[in-house]
Chain A
Amino acid sequence: MNNESTPLLSVQDLGKDYGGQIGCTDVSFDLWPGEVLGIVGESGSGKTTLLNCLSAQFAPSRGAVIYDTRVEGQRDIFDMSESERRLLMRTDWGLVRQNPRDGLRLGVSAGANVGERLMAIGARNYGEIRAVACEWLEKVEIDTGRIDDQPSTFSGGMQQRLQIARNLVTNPRLMFMDEPTGGLDVSVQARLLDLLRGLVTRLGLSAIIVTHDLAVARLLAHRLMVMKNGRVVEQGLTDQVLDDPQHAYTQLLVSSILQP
């Protein structure tokens, strides 16, 4: 186990510009082992830009993202070589995209989608890879009889669960999720949320979840960051931020929720 007093991820003065426009700026926070951080805000608030910088999809314009690697301790992910960063993303990190079609390989079977990350880190025994893939399909409640089917034949909810299995198979320590329940029916959402909640607790994962859905944030996140115009306007314990919001924008967000 890593030192409990070292944050898993330490973000310092991070910013990303697009031409003259600010994507996000002045973002600093620490993420601790086992902690789930929610990033909320309306579309255009910079939350996905921030997630893309944190997960090394984009290079930031300024600032640092320090990750506590298993072997070498804390390192700035943007000082790593391209191959080191790719290895990190294939093993220690997971990235769940809003649209599962962006995170899956649609032309190969469900089993191969899950097994791919194992093969990328050197697994070669077909029987073992298939057994592990089966195990993970069960954990995300996909009928193992579908292991040889292509994900293009799956429903949206199944695809999203497959994407989660594909990411978790290498036992990552940190998951990035961009609107993981976006675009799903409410009943399918509930199932996915329940699954995510269980997996995060059981596996002791750390996660950063971008969502515009405050109910999703309340259910999954320990701590919230509220973004507006590329800046963090408020952060704190999830239920405190939602029940006693201090910033005008957070008060507006919370009071705008429709009660079913």
Chain B
Amino acid sequence: MTTDTAMIIAENLGKTFVLHNQGGQKIPVFGGLDLTVNKGECVVLHGPSGAGKSTLMRALYGNYLVDQGSIRVNHNGDWVDMSRADPQKILAVRKCTMGYVSQFLRAIPRVSALDIVAEPLMVLGEDERRAKVRAGELLARLRVPESLWSLAPATFSGGEQQRVNIARGFSAEFPVLLLDEPTASLDAKNRQTVTDMIGEASQRGTAIVGIFHDEDVRKAIGTRLFDIKAMEEAA
């Protein structure tokens, strides 16, 4: 592994939640964790429920703070440490470099499915018409009926919302993608489509970190498993 193709270098990461309103209870999640992800790699986070897979993913995205270690992300050739960069810098990394598909879509009232998917492209300066064409292609590929595109997804089914969420994650073709169980609420056909889309992103050189509970999906696209052990086990 050479660092010139590395997109994420996380070193010695540690995370403990402290619940101040519950007697200062400490919940250690992980410690001493090292992870490097290169271009074109699809690293599958692996471990039992509660081991901290989603927590790690959120830390990589700057959504959770870590107590120790650093998370460097290759942002247009500059290394940005997501664990201590200021909010402006983290937002810049999210705008240009790193996409994140969460388990659930956070729908915004009154914003249409098409606009939600087109937005990441528009903030990068893509022309509105072209962004919407691209958004439409993705929604069509994910079998979201065209009659829904102009509606706000708050009333969509879980699977439809998740497909809008996935389309949004893929519209801008970020160099780094974080995928938190993107196929969880999908039927077999759509799961296959998403698997194909992830495979194509890998081919393009996208560095991917994902949580996939589905064995077939893991086998089809994962280039490497990364084991996360629950803290008690590791200790």
Residues of chain A touching chain B, judged by Cβ–Cβ distance below 8 Å, are 32, 35, 190-191, 193-194, 197, 201, 219, 222-223, 236-240, 243-244, 246-248, 251-252, 255
Contact = CB atoms under 8 A, between A and B. Distances in A.
A223 B91 CA distance: 10
Interface residues of B, number: 19
A237 B90 contact: yes
B19 A251 contact: yes
A243 B63 contact: yes
Contacts of B17: 244
A236 B21 contact: no
Contacts, number: 50
A240 B58 CA distance: 9
Given A194-B111, A236-B87, A237-B90, A244 B19 contact: no
Contact of A244 (B21, B64, B90, B109): B64
B20 A239 contact: no
Contacts of A255: 21
A185 to B, nearest CB: 12
B229 to A, nearest CB: 22
Q: Dominant SS at the B interface?
A: mixed
Contact of B108 (A32, A194, A239): A194
Q: Dominant SS at the A interface?
A: helix
A244 B65 contact: yes
Given A223-B87, A251-B20, A244 B110 contact: no
A191 B109 CA distance: 8
Interface string B12-33: 0000011111000000000000
Contacts of B111: 194
Contacts of A252: 20-21
B99 interface: no
B88 A248 contact: no
Given A237-B91, A246-B18, A255-B21, 14 more contacts: A35-B88, A190-B109, A194-B108, A194-B109, A201-B123, A236-B65, A239-B63, A243-B64, A244-B58, A244-B65, A246-B65, A248-B20, A251-B20, A252-B20
B23 to A, nearest CB: 11
Contact of A248 (B21, B91, B108, B123): B21
Nearest to A186: B109
A191 B110 contact: yes
Nearest to A224: B87
Contact of A240 (B63, B108, B109, B123): B63
B115 to A, nearest CB: 10
B120 interface: no
Contact of A194 (B64, B65, B110): B110
Nearest to A255: B21
Given A32-B88, A194-B108, A237-B90, A247 B20 contact: yes
Given A194-B111, A236-B87, A244 B20 contact: no
Contacts of B19: 251
A219 B108 contact: yes
Contacts of B88: 32, 35, 222
A223 B111 CA distance: 22
Of listed B17, B63, B87, residue having the most chain A CB within 10 A? B87
B4 to A, nearest CB: 29
A193 B109 contact: yes
Given A194-B108, A243-B63, A244-B63, A222 B91 contact: yes
